[in-house]
Amino acid sequence: MTYLSTLVPAYAEIFLLVMVCAILIVDLFVTDPNRIVTYLLVQLTLLGCALITVSTYQPGVVHLFHNTFVDDMMSDVLKLLSYLAMSMALVYSRHYLMARGLFTGEFMVLALFALLGMMVMISASHFISLYIGLELLSLSLYAMVALQRDSAVATEAAMKYFILGALASGLLLYGMSMLYGATGSLDVNAISAAISHGVENKQLLTFGLVFIVAGLAFKLGAVPFHMWVPDVYHGAPTAMTLIIGSAPKLAAFAFVMRLLVESMQPLMMHWSGMLAILAVLSMALGNISAIAQTNLKRMFAYSTIAHMGFLLLGVLSGNIDGYSSAMFYAVVYVLMSLGGFGMIMLLSRAGFEADNLDDFKGLNQRSPWLAFIMLLLMFSMAGVPPTVGFYAKFSVLQAAVNAGHIPLVVMAVLFSLIGAFYYLRIVKLMYFDAPESHVPISMQPDSSVLISFNGLAVLLLGILPGNLMAVCAVSVQQSLLLH
């Protein structure tokens, strides 16, 4: 009983793994018309994980499994948001996948395995557990992209994703091995302490840091390691694109925090310069390339690259305000991304993908409410007040100004203005152009309620951002100060 009580912080992960195994077995006996049973079991699993995470919360920082796993407030908050994002993604995806014959137990099990990988990444405090979580997430996503086996485009996207992902993992591992050689440890806290006390082989340490930053940039999709993002977003079925573009960004933020901030804070002078270059290049190339896109998924892919530049801008500020604003930005981005890709799936139907800009022409005449929700989402992505996207960008810029990065802030504002063009172009198409199709939009009750909630949340959080911002600030502060 004593041993079981020491596992309390990892109960959510254990429960999720047990339920994934149970769902795999149950799904064998479920026929296609009754696949809703598997879907409901998955949603109940997510609810159960959330209840366990809330009920097992304890203040402070708890380490498990020989310091490879950490439970702190930041990890709990990010996990709860990951459950919510995955649950919303599955609601949006259900009817889209049904119409294409992809609503299978394999898809849902892979989604849960991806979530388990995210949870391990979020709570990792050791390079080995960080890497295991990353690979569990990555392998699940590779398989999801390739799930539509009769689609040459999806298969090609999966191959590109897999090859470039393997390259990024190799870079990360190489960097981690160099850090191990320089410090003699793979424990996040031990590495930080070793660097603080001085390392004999500083050259090896610097090389390791370069490889780790390169690997992180690959996983985030930051320039110049962004090549996979547009192809994967465009080639994968929209339901898979939605999952890739939403919840994993929360895990990526945690990954950056554990790797750079917690283990290599003494080297901040070195890695903040690298992040500054990545951030500027990402904002520049992401926003400028998005203007030329006619496919909405590719446009969102390039905008993701630009948003990751903003997230890195918060991290390179190097203080609690910067880290909490970056966390807030990641949460807000996930909310906007869910709404954007969810809208594409709502307008799609069997045999038709509503992923071109022209498909949104005259949406206001076909459905004024959906056009209004899309307007809120686009305004938020562009950073137009009073939506939450404006506050997210403002908080990141404010943290960067306070840290003395004035030139970076000026460039970020200029690239945001460029980025506003392609978001507002969608608003113009919806409200001022004639519709190309008059096919009525058929929506299921759960999806229509969720997209309304999604759009209004973007507006409400923009008007009242204080609570979410406070949660992010307190969780980051507690986690970093107590480590």
* pLDDT at site 22: 92
Pairwise CA distance, residues 301 & 236, whole Å = 12
Helix or strand or coil: residue 361?
coil
Phi and psi, residue 124, nearest 5°: -75, 140
pLDDT at 35: 84
Q: How many CB atoms lie within 10 A of CB 449?
A: 12
- Name the 3-class secondary structure at 386: coil
pLDDT, tens only, 199-222: 777 888 888 889 999 988 888 888
Q: φ, ψ for residue 225 (rounded to 5)?
A: -110, 35
pLDDT digits (tens, 9 = 90+) for 129-165: 999 999 999 999 999 998 888 888 888 889 988 998 8
Q: Do you know the residue count of the chain?
A: 483
Closest CA to 383 of 323, 344, 424, 340: 424
Reported as a single tens digit per residue, the pLDDT across 249-262 is 999 999 998 888 88
Question: Any residues with CB less than 8 A from the CB of 475 and at least 6 apart, and which?
Answer: 72, 73, 74, 76, 77, 324, 327
The residues with which 258 forms a beta bridge, in sequence order, are: none
pLDDT value at 1 more than 50: no
Residue 277 CB-half CA count within 13 A: 10
Report the pLDDT value the prediction gives residue 194, as an integer from 0 to 100.
85
Please report the pLDDT score of residue 67 as a whole number.
82
Residue 482's pLDDT is 58
CA terminus-to-terminus distance, the chain? 28
Residue 71: beta bridge partners? Answer: 62
Higher pLDDT: 442 or 165? It is 165
pLDDT single digits (tens) 332-384: 999 999 999 999 888 887 767 777 888 888 888 888 899 999 999 999 999 88
- Nearest Cα to Cα of residue 25 among 37, 9, 13: 37
Q: What is the pLDDT of residues 385-438, one digit of tens each?
A: 889 999 999 999 999 998 888 999 999 999 999 989 999 999 999 888 887 777
> How is residue 55 annotated by DSSP?
H
The alpha-helical segments, DSSP class H, found in 350-405 are 363-366, 368-382, 388-402
- Please give the residue that has the higher pLDDT: either 195 or 45: 45
Cα distance between residue 176 and residue 263, in whole Å: 11
The dihedral sign for the CA sequence 86, 89, 95, 96: negative
**CA neighbours closer than 13 Å in the CB half-sphere of residue 167:** 13
What is the sign, positive or negative, of the torsion defined by CA atoms of 186, 190, 196, 197? Answer: negative
Encode pLDDT of 267-277 as tens digits.
888 888 888 99
Distance (Å, rounded) from C-alpha 189 to C-alpha 479?
Answer: 12
**Strand, coil or helix: 63:** strand
Closest listed residue to residue 169, CA positions, set 134, 201, 137, 202? 134
Q: Which two tokens stand for residue 115?
A: 């979530």
Q: Which of these, 250, 245, 9, lies nearest to 121 by C-alpha position? A: 250
Average pLDDT over residues 66-93: 90
> Mean pLDDT across the chain, nearest whole number?
88
Q: 252 and 219 in contact (C-beta within 8 Å)?
A: yes
Domain boundaries, the chain: 2-482
The three-state (H, E, C) secondary structure of 140-162, written as one string: HHHHHHCCCCCCHHHHHHHHHHH
